[in-house]
Amino acid sequence: MTDRYGSDVLSGDWRRPARGRTRPVEAETGLVVEDVETGWVGAVVRVEKAGGMQVVHLEDRRGRTKGFRLGPGFLLDGAPVTLTPPTAASRAALGAARAATARTASGSVAVTGQRARVASGSRIFVEGKHDAELVEKVWGADLRVEGVVVEMLDGVDDLAAAIRDFAPGPGRRLGVLVDHLVPGSKESRIVQEASGMRPYAAHVLVVGHPYVDVWQSVRPERLGLSAWPVIPRTVEWKQGIVAHLGWPHQTQADLAMAWKRILGTVRTYADLEPSLLGRVEELIDFVTAPDA
């Protein structure tokens, strides 16, 4: 027999809100929630005491941060939650997880709790200051763990003399990174002569990238360019680049500031061209080989 009045409307949890009942959730770093009152959506970056209450700071996708009173009034995946302070156990677990997955700027697994090694006998030479600063920013952590020092050559015109002065040998390898190493260039002839020097040849590795300057190894997209511009031979290359970018370019101080801005766009190896990445990794492997 059909019940013409249907089921009892008062049976079950009829007071349950449409989005469900609020549940407590620890405000762990990285948790993405929405503030119901303002609609602000962001990831938890920290929880602190301020003005006699606990405040949770949420960072939105544009990097802006805003503080809210810790407690009810938040949505997690559309469901209401009450944010509670993270416990010591959850903080410890999060720290352990981060340590296990942490990476250096070069993409290597980060080594924690270890001091930099005393410098080994092996070295990596680069042409100038900008090359050294770029290598330090991306591979510095790895090189300190290995105890490898990067030194500047101030150009490769006298590379053979630099190799003789360093005197590579067993346990004392030398890796050299050269700019604009392309067939037929002045640099290619210098490298060909220096690489075969006896008795050092077996302990020296010279590699290079195809760029006029190490600036070009930074992906142009990081500067809002689709490609690095072609600069006429009658114009000094760096000045031409900086002028194209619309930055001051008349003095050496202008060029130094321009490089600082370019280097500031580099965060990890992903911001560099593969043709540079492979050469630097090759040098590091060479100077840190077991028999080096």
| Pairing mode, strands 123-126 and 149-152 | parallel
In percent, the amount of the chain with pLDDT more than 70 equals: 82
Residue with tokens 């770029």: 134
pLDDT tens digits for 95-129? Answer: 655 555 566 765 665 555 555 455 578 999 999 99
Do 65 and 129 reside in the same domain of the chain?
A: no
Query: Residue 214: which pLDDT band, with cuts at 50, 70 and 90?
Result: very high
For residue 211 the two structure tokens come to 């760029």
Q: What is the mean pLDDT of the chain?
A: 84
The domain of 45 spans: 23-85
For residue 90, tell me if it sits in a domain.
Answer: no
Half-sphere exposure of residue 264: CA atoms within 13 angstroms, side-chain side: 6
Do 160 and 50 reside in the same domain of the chain?
A: no
pLDDT tens digits for 127-180? Answer: 999 999 999 999 998 888 888 899 999 888 889 999 999 999 998 999 999 998
Do 199 and 70 reside in the same domain of the chain?
A: no
CA 237, CA 251: separation in Å to the nearest integer?
Answer: 13
For residue 223, tell me if it sits in a domain.
Answer: no
For residue 116, tell me if it sits in a domain.
Answer: no
Q: Which of 57, 85, 113 is the last residue of a domain?
A: 85
CA distances, 66 to each of 32, 42, 59, 132, 169 (Å): 13, 9, 7, 38, 58
Q: 229: left (phi > 0), else alpha (psi -120 to 50), else beta?
A: beta
Q: What is the CATH number of the domain that holds 44?
A: 2.30.30.30
Do 199 and 279 reside in the same domain of the chain?
A: yes
DSSP for 50-116, please give it: ETTEEEEEEE-TTS-EEEEESSS-EEETTEEEEEEPPPHHHHHHHHHHHHHH-B-TTSPBPP-S-PP
Do 68 and 136 reside in the same domain of the chain?
A: no
Do 143 and 273 reside in the same domain of the chain?
A: yes
For residue 185, tell me if it sits in a domain.
Answer: yes
pLDDT exceeds 80 at position 91: no
For residue 2, tell me if it sits in a domain.
Answer: no
DSSP for 132-191, please give it: HHHHHHHHHHHHHHHT-EEEE-S-STTHHHHHHHH--BTTB-EEEEESS--TTSHHHHHH
Number of domains in the chain: 2
Report CA 160 to chain centroid distance, whole Å.
34
The pTM is what? Answer: 0.61
Treating both helix axes as pointing N-terminal to C-terminal, what angle do 186-195 and 159-166 enclose, rounded to 10 degrees? 30
Do 70 and 190 reside in the same domain of the chain?
A: no
Do 149 and 61 reside in the same domain of the chain?
A: no
pLDDT tens digits for 251-272? Answer: 999 999 999 999 999 988 899 9
